[in-house]
Amino acid sequence: MRCLLFVLSFVPVSTVLRENPCPRLKSRRRAGMKHESGFTLLELLLVIALLSVTAGIMVQGYEGVQDQGRYDATRFEMAELRKALLQFRRDSGTNDFPGQGIYDCTDAANDNPASANPDMDFPAEAGNTDAEKIAWCSSPANFWMLFAQPGPGFDWNPDTHRGWHGPYLQRKSGMISYLTAGNVWGIADPYQSPFILVDLDDDDKARIVSIGPDNTYDGEGASPCEPPAGSDDTVLCLLR
């Protein structure tokens, strides 16, 4: 501004309009233009490296969140299964879980493991022979009694509040193949492996197990309610 006022005081206006009134401003602009340049190759490589490191950290963090989410969902579903199984047990008026006692898949009265219980209304998926029905009904991954009444002898009695009063679960994952029983009415965990029921005949050990991503049951750990060391199984005891 001072440069402009100085020039205006000695030079005609027409001359000022035609020429640069402040040579220093012009030189500064030129100097600034000379210093403008793009990124060097080294700078670009540094930026790419930083972006790669940041992306790697974000991916690892996302995978960690996914794993924790699956584990939390697994624990929640196991808790819901536990509620359903305990309600099934209370409604029966016995200490029987599915496949036990009055719900046994065999004709226990005749002590004949090759004869299917005539009171059981087996779905078509069970097969035709007694042996096929027993294998299907006894599968540790089969939750069919929580979805369908086992037979006419288990009708709900509103006076005694005893009998089958289901369905005890609203969701099943359809037909799941597990071991040699073929397709059963199973429930898949968040890892797409079937939940299984283990040691239902022992109140201290009766438990639900999510067999995890490897789709393999790893057995009992230091206690029945814990998986073995290094196992990807998740365990929930039913009565402890």
Query: Domain coordinates of the chain in residue numbers?
Result: 63-237
Write down the pLDDT at residue 32: 52
Angle at alpha carbon of residue 221, lines to 218 and 226, rounded to 5°: 100
Write down the pLDDT at residue 34: 52
Write down the pLDDT at residue 23: 53
pLDDT by residue, tens only, the chain of 240 residues = 444 444 444 445 455 445 555 555 455 555 555 555 667 878 788 888 888 887 777 766 555 577 788 899 999 999 999 999 999 999 999 989 999 989 988 876 667 767 778 888 888 888 888 888 888 998 999 999 999 999 888 999 999 999 999 999 987 767 787 776 678 899 988 888 899 999 999 999 999 999 988 889 999 999 999 999 999 999 999 998
- C-alpha 142/C-alpha 134 separation (Å) is 12
- C-alpha 197/C-alpha 99 separation (Å) is 10
> Which residues 6+ apart lie within 8 Å of 64 measured at CB?
none
Q: How far is CA 105 from CA 1, 18, 84, 101, 218, in A?
A: 101, 107, 20, 9, 26
User: What is residue 183's DSSP assignment?
Assistant: E
- C-alpha 203/C-alpha 72 separation (Å) is 25
Rounded to two decimals, the pTM is 0.71
CA-nearest of 68, 60, 85 to 190 is 68
Work out the end-to-end distance of the chain between its first and last CA atoms, rounded to an integer number of angstroms.
Answer: 87
Query: Dihedral (C-alpha) 142, 144, 147, 153: value to the nearest 10 degrees?
Result: -150
